[in-house]
Structure 1
Amino acid sequence: MKQISLITLLFCCILSTTTFAQKNKKFDIIAYYTGDSKLIDEYEVNKLNQIIFSFCHLKDGKLSVDSAKDSITIKHLVSLKAKNPQLKIILSLGGWGGCEPCSNAFSTAEGRLKFAKSVKEVSNYFKVDGLDLDWEYPAIEGLPGHLYQPADKPNFTELIKILRSTLGKKYELSFAAGGFQKYLDESIDWHAVAPLVNRINIMSYDLVNGYSQVTGHHTPLYSTNPNEESTDRAVTFLLNQGIPAEKLIIGGAFYTRTWKNVENINNGLYQAGEHVQGVDFKNFATTYTEANGWKYFWDDKAKAPYWYNAQTKTFATSDDLKSIKAKTEYVKEKKLGGIMFWELPLDSTRNGMVNAIYEVKTAK
């Protein structure tokens, strides 16, 4: 009897160790998606673990799907799970400029409960797997003119608590976190929030954004100087807060930030300029060509690419295939939870950024 118990105990130890190891190897590829019900079928959904439908908004304090078109899209996304058992469909609230009422709506217990109940109702109706809060930003300025207040920080914690208790343990709960230091320092009570969410989607892009009058890497893996924001800087900060590595998701940018009137100094990097519309990854190959006057540069310290056009004095910064592979290797090395990106319709339908992530993820 003792021998059988010992063997059973040993088997259980091996099983639990294996389970833990498998858990540590979990690597999610997460796509934010603003497209419709037809566009998604052009992409390799089998390489994704989550699709985050973007965006839902607040209407009278409740989670609201904006239109019949969006309803059709969400239903179609959910139907994709039949062929893709690994896939989860998440609804996202807000986005840049999409959370104007959030500070006020979430400022009372009644408001937070009202919202949580609406999330449960909408989630049950569509049979989605979770919610991603994209409030930009609690307690600090986001879109100019939007209300933000110091109370947002504790209110965000209380919001997460009521969402978790209302929706249950199996419901996927995440939030899009600013990847810059002011957000990391001031917006979230990390110790209170982290145990209640499945993952933290670090927006480690737009670190030099459209309001900047100086160029720089907008989505670098590493900082090139002590004052520069980067993916690694945000990850290191959160790991130092004691957040489990597997809850941290880093961000990839499938688009350029671009500036004009940039002098030909240091190939346009860290120079004054005027921000203009950027380019989607799927158009990089036809836009950033030598024939068009562009030169490609690689910053080996930042692990980030950039482009400069001396003829038009234009500078561009983004992720590309090389940098997204470096980010994927970083996720594996740090045993993080995966990579998310903005956004799937900006990618090539084949042999693009998602494929590059997937190839590195699945390589032995």
Structure 2
Amino acid sequence: MHRSILFFLCLLALNVCAQQPGKLNVIAYYSAGPEKVDNLPAEKLSHIIFSFCHLTGNKLTVDSKRDSTTIQKLVNLKKRNAKLKVILSLGGWSGCPSCSDVFSTDVGRKEFAQSVLKLNQYFKSDGIDLDWEYPTIEGYPGHRFVPEDKQNFTALVRDLRKTLGTEYEVSFAAGGFQKFLDESVEWKEVMKEVDRVNLMTYDLVNGYSTVTGHHTALYSTPQLRESTDNAVQYLIKLGIPANKLVIGGAFYGRMWEGVVATNNGLYQSGKFKAGIDFKNFDQEISEQKGFVKYWDDVAKAPYSYNAAEKLFITYDDKRSLALKTKYAIDHKLDGIMFWELSLDTDKDGLLDAIIQTMQTETKQGKSAKKK
């Protein structure tokens, strides 16, 4: 009897911990070199994903001695944050030219999985994040994609899980746009094997678009279906557990040129011009530069327009990332991730907005319990 009661109380305690507001994984992709690693805010992060490793033949490989040094220094950050996990990522936007071919065979998948295990053992890192853009549907120009990628991706994550066991994490980066959600992967089968999916809920209006829009909106608008909420709700309706979903924030903006002033440039024709790092916003898109900032209260997203130069830019800011963080907490998601850590300011930046929101929600949750 006593053992039963004790067991029940332990389960209750674990459940309460799992339900605590403000508890999220905070996952940073990192693609800069080793020079900046020692100054990274490791204490604020649950995961750092090294970006990127690539395929040599069927094996996951690190491209250079410089990249090896970066990974080693990232792993060394665990001395400052014992709970930090360092994940190796395969691919990137232009980094998976042979993925469709390699993962189309049983031999290729198994050899890859073994190489992932060996690299993690060597570096004392914690797993693999697959950033194949994209299985089944067109991604980077010229990269092979075929219908069979869909089933092959499922077989790949199964091989990875079998080889890595539960000691290492397996995740993948997924397009947050509707075509990927509809066609690219076998969601129910894949999600059984992985720890989480990192939803790239940015670049939802990409550099190939000739019409402006919010590239990383929280909510859909009548003019633009693509949004963070659209991706999350689609997967939840499929039966994917919310606690395996991670939403994405953008530490950069996307700028279009030749944009007319109608609606302050939003949803207008234009030509993609450039990406702008968040750390450069004060210099590049300030009032002094002629930009006026606006807020879309439906999308919960900022944008800026320069009427004199006909420039439009869409981005995340502290306000929109705070709202995304609260969304992740309210919907009991696994976490929030972002591209990319070195694009943030050294202090009072976008990562701080995420952390401050988590702290606020935790305090409010504790206050509510006391009442």
State TM-score, norm by structure 2: 0.95
SS in 1 for 2:255: strand
- Paired with 1:260 and 1:290, the residues of 2 have a C-alpha distance of 17
SS in 2 for 1:349: coil
1:22 corresponds in structure 2 to 17
1:355 corresponds in structure 2 to 352
Instruction: Give the drift of 1:41.
Output: 2.3
2:6 corresponds in structure 1 to 11
CA contact (8 A) 2:175 2:199 kept: yes
1:330 corresponds in structure 2 to 327
SS in 1 for 2:276: coil
SS in 1 for 2:337: strand
CA contact (8 A) 2:28 2:337 kept: yes
* Aligned match for 2:309, one of 268, 291, 312: 312
SS in 2 for 1:205: coil
Instruction: Give the drift of 1:266.
Output: 0.3
SS in 1 for 2:34: coil
Alignment of 1:117-156 (within 5 A): 117-156=114-153
- Paired with 1:57 and 1:82, the residues of 2 have a C-alpha distance of 27
Instruction: Give the drift of 1:226.
Output: 7.1
Alignment of 1:193-204 (within 5 A): 193-204=190-201
Identity %: 54
Matched AA of 1:336: L
2:367 corresponds in structure 1 to none
SS in 1 for 2:346: coil
Matched AA of 1:191: K
Choose 23-32 or 48-57, whichever is displaced more: 23-32
Instruction: Give the drift of 1:9.
Output: 1.6
1:171 corresponds in structure 2 to 168
- Paired with 1:48 and 1:99, the residues of 2 have a C-alpha distance of 27
For structure 2, which runs of at least 5 residues remain unmatched after alignment? 364-371
Choose 223-232 or 306-315, whichever is displaced more: 223-232
Instruction: Give the drift of 1:42.
Output: 2.4
- Paired with 2:107 and 2:273, the residues of 1 have a C-alpha distance of 42
* Aligned match for 1:259, one of 256, 272, 278: 256
CA contact (8 A) 1:140 1:186 kept: yes
SS in 2 for 1:209: coil
* Structure 1 residues 298-321: Cα deviation after superposition (integer angstroms, max 9, x where no partner): 001100000000010000001000
Matched AA of 1:17: L
Matched AA of 1:275: F
* Structure 1 residues 281-310: Cα deviation after superposition (integer angstroms, max 9, x where no partner): 111122222221100000011000000000
2:70 corresponds in structure 1 to 73
- Paired with 1:156 and 1:132, the residues of 2 have a C-alpha distance of 13
* Structure 1 residues 17-59: Cα deviation after superposition (integer angstroms, max 9, x where no partner): 2212323444100000011222122232110000000000000
CA contact (8 A) 1:223 1:230 kept: yes
Matched AA of 1:183: F
SS in 2 for 1:277: strand
Matched AA of 2:219: Y
For structure 1, which runs of at least 5 residues remain unmatched after alignment? none
* Structure 1 residues 312-344: Cα deviation after superposition (integer angstroms, max 9, x where no partner): 000000100010000001011101011000000
- Asked whether 1:100 is paired with 2:100, we answer no
Matched AA of 1:143: Y
* Aligned match for 1:221, one of 218, 221, 226: 218
SS in 1 for 2:12: helix
2:366 corresponds in structure 1 to none
1:35 corresponds in structure 2 to 32
1:157 corresponds in structure 2 to 154
Matched AA of 2:12: T
1:274 corresponds in structure 2 to 271
* Structure 1 residues 212-257: Cα deviation after superposition (integer angstroms, max 9, x where no partner): 0000000000001275200000000111111111110000001111
State TM-score, norm by structure 1: 0.97
Number of equivalences: 359
- Asked whether 1:233 is paired with 2:233, we answer no
- Paired with 1:235 and 1:108, the residues of 2 have a C-alpha distance of 31
CA contact (8 A) 2:169 2:195 kept: yes
* Structure 1 residues 140-185: Cα deviation after superposition (integer angstroms, max 9, x where no partner): 0001111000000000000000000001112111000100011011
CA RMSD of aligned residues (A): 1.0
* Structure 1 residues 64-106: Cα deviation after superposition (integer angstroms, max 9, x where no partner): 1000000011011111112201200000000001001000000
* Aligned match for 1:90, one of 87, 90, 104: 87
Matched AA of 1:185: D
